[in-house]
Each structure stands twice: as C-alpha cells, then as structure tokens.
C-alpha cells in the first residue's frame, strides 16, 4: 500500500466524517486524487463501513455487552473458518475473532439483558457440535473503545503545596 493511501485511510479511521476536501488540504493533495483513493478502497473492500462510536450510557437504551470465549474443535478441511462462519451468521454477533491462548474464538454480542445473553449462549452457541466450552464475561463499564475515551476526567485544579 502506498504512503498516500495509508495517510488517507488513517485519517478516515480516526474520523469518518472528515470531508474529501479536508483530507486533501491536510495532506497537500488534489481533491480528485483523494476521492479516487477513497472510491478505490470502497470498491476493493479496504473501507468496509463508516460508523460512529456512540456512548449508549448517555441514552435511555438498556444494553448489556458480553464477551464470550469459545473453545472449539477445528473442522477437517475448514479449520476454524467454517465454525466461525456459522457463528458470525447469528444477528446477535457484533464481532468474532480467532484468538491465541486458552480459548480459540472471542464472540462479542449485545443484548437487552444478561438473561438474553445467557439464552443466546445456552441455546445457540453451546449446542454447536464443534463447541467444547464457553466462558462469558459481561462489560460493566466502557472507558475507551476504538481509540475514543468515553468520559474525560476533569483536570486536577488543586495547587501543589510543598513543605
């Protein structure tokens, strides 16, 4: 990947609302060139989606986020990919990662309640033929997500006193 494309993508990754004109000015590039890079990246699947990071704690929406670790048996001829494809088809699944360590897959889901998440695990994930075990962790508070700090801490305005 060339340097110009990397620079454009880095800017968009931090803030997808930056206009083509703003990116061109920031990088001292032609607007048409920046638009071409963005268009090419959309077409070839490098840019998958534009989205906002929402702090749902500041709304009335009740939501619980869970991280579910799965220990699975890789399938012959498909390895982890075939079981992962089956799992990510569920509408409840927000993210799915192949991991190293004690578990093989990390599934991140959101539900309206802990009970809804528990039912998803017990009725949809755990019964899958390749799943050997699960461990569910609930997010209690988000401090930072996708490089966005959710609650800025007030600056300490106390004066320093030395003796």
Model pLDDT, residue 153: 66
Model pLDDT, residue 44: 93
What lies within 8 Å, CB to CB, of 77 at 6+ separation is: none
Model pLDDT, residue 149: 82
Distance CA(152)–CA(155), nearest Å, equals: 9
What lies within 8 Å, CB to CB, of 134 at 6+ separation is: 68, 69, 70, 71, 121, 125, 126
**CA distances (Å), origin 74, targets 6, 80, 84, 91, 131:** 35, 5, 10, 23, 9
Model pLDDT, residue 1: 56
Model pLDDT, residue 13: 86
Say if CB 71 and CB 103 are below 8 A apart: yes
Q: What is the pLDDT along the chain (163 residues), one digit of tens a residue?
A: 588 899 999 888 888 889 999 999 999 999 999 999 999 999 999 988 887 777 777 788 888 999 999 999 988 888 899 999 999 999 999 999 999 999 999 999 999 999 999 999 999 999 999 999 999 999 998 888 877 788 776 677 777 787 7
């Amino acid at each position: 990947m060339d340097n110009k494309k990397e620079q454009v993508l880095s800017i968009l990754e931090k803030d997808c609302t930056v206009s083509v004109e703003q990116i061109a000015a920031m990088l001292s590039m032609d607007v048409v060139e920046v638009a071409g890079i963005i268009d090419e990246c959309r077409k070839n699947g490098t840019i998958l989606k534009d989205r906002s990071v929402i702090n749902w704690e500041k709304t009335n929406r009740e939501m619980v986020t869970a991280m579910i670790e799965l220990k699975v048996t890789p399938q012959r001829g498909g390895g982890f990919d075939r079981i992962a494809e089956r799992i990510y088809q569920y509408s409840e699944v927000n993210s799915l990662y192949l991991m190293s360590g004690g578990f093989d897959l990390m599934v991140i889901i959101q539900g309206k309640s802990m009970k809804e998440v528990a039912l998803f695990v017990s009725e949809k994930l755990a019964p899958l033929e390749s799943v050997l075990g699960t461990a569910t962790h609930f997010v209690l508070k988000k401090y930072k997500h996708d490089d966005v700090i959710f609650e800025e801490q007030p600056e300490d305005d106390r004066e320093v006193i030395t003796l």
